[in-house]
């Protein structure tokens, strides 16, 4: 794929691509009505205290669990089950032990209420999980702490009795040291009990704080309708471009002179200029034909730019040189069938001019026969020297040319050669030569040359 090819495609198919972009925009607008997420807002919950990464991920899963969403759906009263809320509620872990809850709804107010209620139900459910005394592990931990308190109280009583017994022994150095150590032990036990009480109090609550209400959204969540419209237009334009490129690559019509000669098994006898442009008589009719002309798809896009037209004298010389190859000698006359595919307008104009250029005094008789390339039929003509095929490069496949050759063989006609047309830019008419309309109407029975 080369840039010049893309540039040529854009220049020659810009109207068709513009129509595809309009269709894609309409499809995108319709898709936005079905798939637009609406309005989106977020609510944040702060988890206090040090947290492990796995613990934070677990909390995010809890925030969107079925229990939390079912409670939220019940509190909303919208008649929507909690299972459907799973598609419009998301939870993610942010830096700083923050769980962000993202909610989407049809209106900003509904999105705000949904985010706030999910955050509240999440905090309530997490607190319930921590403080639920019905769990066996929590009950066992509570009993162990109570036993520890009783042992600490008993130890304090023994320290008190030891302190009193040591105090009754006087004020010796040993007694003073013993009392000091007992007091230090009592202080350590009291500090340990204080720490245990604080830990128990902390474990009895979830340590979660909702960081304010969710903000009221002012813009729709992505993808918005504008993004759907733009995306649809871009996608359809790209599909159109790639479709044209794929069709051009899959096109099996021959454009090279050597390939055409090889498929026909006959030499090329010449190349003639034909003004480019649609033949008024060969234009497609009906709504489809008019639409193709409006979109610019009635002509191939992957052909080179036609060269400038030559003057009439040079064009006439080329036609006469082609005819000179088939003229008979003095006193003899040759009859040649001129075969033209009925859907090849440039070749038809070239054949008409060949007949118009042929000198009636020359020893050459031409008969124009229009054939259907898909199912060619060549008439049986006694005394004919053979057939001359006039065609435009890029209009026939190799199999079609082989079929024309076989049709000529069935009719007993040898393929004398091929004349290739070279479309040129339409000028002021100086290079178009004599119009075939000046002669008799051209059909299968028209003869040109000596009788």
Could you read off the pLDDT of 354-363 as tens digits, one per residue?
A: 999 887 656 7
Q: Is 137 left (phi over 0), alpha (psi -120 to 50) or beta?
A: alpha
Do residues 218 and 266 share a domain?
Answer: no
Output the pLDDT for position 1: 60
Residue 435 has pLDDT above 60, yes or no: no
Do residues 151 and 299 share a domain?
Answer: no
Do residues 271 and 218 share a domain?
Answer: no
Output the pLDDT for position 179: 74
Q: How far is residue 289 CA from its own chain's centroid?
A: 29
Q: How confident is the model at residue 307 (pLDDT cuts 50, 70, 90)?
A: confident
Q: What is the DSSP letter of 220?
A: B
Q: How confident is the model at residue 449 (pLDDT cuts 50, 70, 90)?
A: very low
| Residue 439 vs residue 11, higher pLDDT | 11
Do residues 396 and 445 share a domain?
Answer: yes
Do residues 211 and 271 share a domain?
Answer: no
Output the pLDDT for position 332: 63
Residue 277 has pLDDT above 70, yes or no: no
Half-sphere exposure of 99 (CA within 13 A, CB side): 32
Q: Quote the crossing angle between the two packed helices 14-35 and 3-12, to the nearest 10°.
A: 90
Do residues 124 and 268 share a domain?
Answer: no
Residue 120 has pLDDT above 90, yes or no: yes
| Residue 262 vs residue 132, higher pLDDT | 262
Each residue's pLDDT tens digit, 371-381 = 998 889 998 87
| Residue 234 vs residue 308, higher pLDDT | 234
What integer is the mean pLDDT of 205-229?
82
Q: Which of 170, 196, 222 is the last residue of a domain?
A: 222
Output the pLDDT for position 211: 87
Task: Count up the domains in the chain and report the number.
Answer: 2
Output the pLDDT for position 433: 45
| 197/191 Cα distance (integer angstroms) | 10
Q: How confident is the model at residue 280 (pLDDT cuts 50, 70, 90)?
A: very low
Tokens of 113: 């209420």
- Judged on CB neighbours under 10 Å (0-12, 13-18, 19+), 172 is exposed
| Residue 158 vs residue 75, higher pLDDT | 75
Do residues 176 and 296 share a domain?
Answer: no
Do residues 264 and 195 share a domain?
Answer: no
CATH number at residue 406: 3.40.50
Do residues 187 and 325 share a domain?
Answer: no
Tokens of 218: 């002012």
Q: How confident is the model at residue 313 (pLDDT cuts 50, 70, 90)?
A: confident
Residue 134 has pLDDT above 80, yes or no: no
Output the pLDDT for position 73: 93
Average pLDDT, whole number, for the chain? Answer: 82
Each residue's pLDDT tens digit, 219-231 = 778 888 899 999 9
pTM of this structure: 0.60
Q: Starting at the earlier edge strand, list the strands of the sheet with 386-391.
A: 268-275, 415-424, 386-391, 334-341, 364-371, 447-449
Quick check: is 267 in a domain? yes
Range of the domain at 119: 37-222
Question: In sequence order, which residues have a C-beta less than 8 Å from that of residue 120 and are 6 or more positions away?
Answer: 210
Do residues 261 and 197 share a domain?
Answer: no
Do residues 51 and 200 share a domain?
Answer: yes
Determine contact, residues 331/372, Cβ cutoff 8 Å.
Answer: no
């Amino acid at each position: 794929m080369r840039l010049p090819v893309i540039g040529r495609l854009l220049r020659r198919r810009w109207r068709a691509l513009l129509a595809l972009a309009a269709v894609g925009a309409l499809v995108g607008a319709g898709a936005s009505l079905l798939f637009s997420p609406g309005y989106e807002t977020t609510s944040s919950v702060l988890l206090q205290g040090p947290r492990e990464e796995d613990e934070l991920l677990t909390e995010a899963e809890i925030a969107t669990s079925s229990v939390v969403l079912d409670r939220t759906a019940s509190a909303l009263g919208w008649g929507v089950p909690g299972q459907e809320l799973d598609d419009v509620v998301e939870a993610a872990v942010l830096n700083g032990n923050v769980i962000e809850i993202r909610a989407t709804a049809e209106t900003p107010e509904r999105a705000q209420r949904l985010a706030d209620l999910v955050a509240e139900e999440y905090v309530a459910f997490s607190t319930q999980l921590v403080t639920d005394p019905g769990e066996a592990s929590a009950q066992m931990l509570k009993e162990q702490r109570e036993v520890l308190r009783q042992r600490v109280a008993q130890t304090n009583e023994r320290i008190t009795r030891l302190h009193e017994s040591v105090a009754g022994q006087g004020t010796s150095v040993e007694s003073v040291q013993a009392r000091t150590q007992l007091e230090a032990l009592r202080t350590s036990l009291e500090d340990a009990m204080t720490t245990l009480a604080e830990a128990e109090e902390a474990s009895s609550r979830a340590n979660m704080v909702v960081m304010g209400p969710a903000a009221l959204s002012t813009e729709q969540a992505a993808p918005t309708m504008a993004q759907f419209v733009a995306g649809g237009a871009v996608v359809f334009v790209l599909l159109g471009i790639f479709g044209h490129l794929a069709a051009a690559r899959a096109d099996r019509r021959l454009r090279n002179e050597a390939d055409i000669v090889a498929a026909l098994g006959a030499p090329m006898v010449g190349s003639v200029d034909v003004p480019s442009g649609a033949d008024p008589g060969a234009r497609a009719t009906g709504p489809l034909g008019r639409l193709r002309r409006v979109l610019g798809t009635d002509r191939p896009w992957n052909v080179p730019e036609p060269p400038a037209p030559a003057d009439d004298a040079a064009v006439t010389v080329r036609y006469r040189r082609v005819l000179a190859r088939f003229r008979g000698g003095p006193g003899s006359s040759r009859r040649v069938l001129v075969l033209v595919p009925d859907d090849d307008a440039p070749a038809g104009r070239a054949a008409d001019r060949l007949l118009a250029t042929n000198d009636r005094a020359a020893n050459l008789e031409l008969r124009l026969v229009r054939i259907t390339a898909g199912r060619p039929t060549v008439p049986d003509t006694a005394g004919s020297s053979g057939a001359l095929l006039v065609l435009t490069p890029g209009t026939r496949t190799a199999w079609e040319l082989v079929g024309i050759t076989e049709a000529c063989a069935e009719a007993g006609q040898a393929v004398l050669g091929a004349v290739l047309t070279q479309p040129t830019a339409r000028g002021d008419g100086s290079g178009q030569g004599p119009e075939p309309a000046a002669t008799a109407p051209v059909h299968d029975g028209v003869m040109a040359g000596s009788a």
